[in-house]
Amino acid sequence: MNALLEPILKSPALPSHLAELERAMEAERERREVFYDEITEDHTWEFINGQVIMHSPSRAAHSVVVDNLHFALRQHIRAHKLGWIGSEKSLCVFPRNDYEPDIVFFGPTKARLIKPDTMKFPVPDFIVEVLSPSTEKNDRGVKWEDYQTNGVGEFWIVDPDAKTVEQYLLKDGRYPKRATARSAGVLESVVVRGFKLPVKAIFDTDTALA
């Protein structure tokens, strides 16, 4: 039994707790529907634990990493017909929250669900988040937990300032507490079959285009 739930389940006030939770979840569902109606393509929007998050514009270092990594992944995925790749504006719908990760990949099964008019995407098979001061808490917190809970097979956290990549691989429904962190050498994906590249190419455009 989940340690957080045990005292609630054993409490005589369980019925009132359940009713309070249902009211809170219903109010959250209503806010989520409003979120879907009101978001625009002008900004990056996310819905996290009942709150609408609008992200500020990215720093240049952030954009360089996203561009380099997306370019390399896209070339490989298209060449080998592995699935579908998107970046930043792909709204991924999780059971409770909605995210627009920096890079997402869907293998063949989920890729077949994506049509030209798709605006709400399923849970990705592979996600990359590039850290920024305003997003790091969520990237390492609620997103890390949500991604592992809902079966994202591989999750990379890229730090453009430290020039490091943390690689989390799902095992038995969990990510390891400590990821494989690389600041040099070659990085190889497990979910994106056959994809590998020098870590330097993520941060240096000349290397990425070489």
pLDDT at 121 over 70: yes
- pLDDT tens-digit readout, 162-204: 999 999 999 999 999 888 888 889 999 999 999 999 999 999 8
Beta 98-99 vs 103-106: how paired, if at all? unpaired
pLDDT at 1 over 70: no
CA distance 122 to 91: 9
134: region left, alpha or beta (phi > 0 left; psi from -120 to 50 alpha): alpha
Residue recorded with tokens 């270092």 = 61
Looking at residue 149, its amino acid is T
SS3 145: helix
Q: What is the pLDDT of residue 17?
A: 83
Q: What is the pLDDT of residue 44?
A: 83
**Average pLDDT over every residue of 113-120:** 93
Mean pLDDT of the chain: 91
Helix, strand, coil shares, percent, the chain, to 5: 35, 25, 40
- Position 210 confidence tier, pLDDT thresholds 50, 70, 90: low
Q: What is the pLDDT of residue 89?
A: 84
Q: What share of the chain has pLDDT > 90, as a percent?
A: 73
Q: What's the predicted TM-score (pTM) here?
A: 0.90
- pLDDT tens-digit readout, 64-92: 999 999 999 999 999 999 999 998 789 99
Q: What is the pLDDT of residue 207?
A: 65
pLDDT at 98 over 80: yes
**Average pLDDT over every residue of 82-110:** 95
- Position 4 confidence tier, pLDDT thresholds 50, 70, 90: confident
Q: Which residue has the higher pLDDT, 200 or 42?
A: 200
CATH code for the domain defined by 56-209: 3.90.1570.10
Q: Give residues with Cβ within 8 angstroms of 52, minimum separation 6.
A: 31, 35, 45, 46
- pLDDT tens-digit readout, 153-167: 999 999 999 999 999
**Average pLDDT over every residue of 110-133:** 95
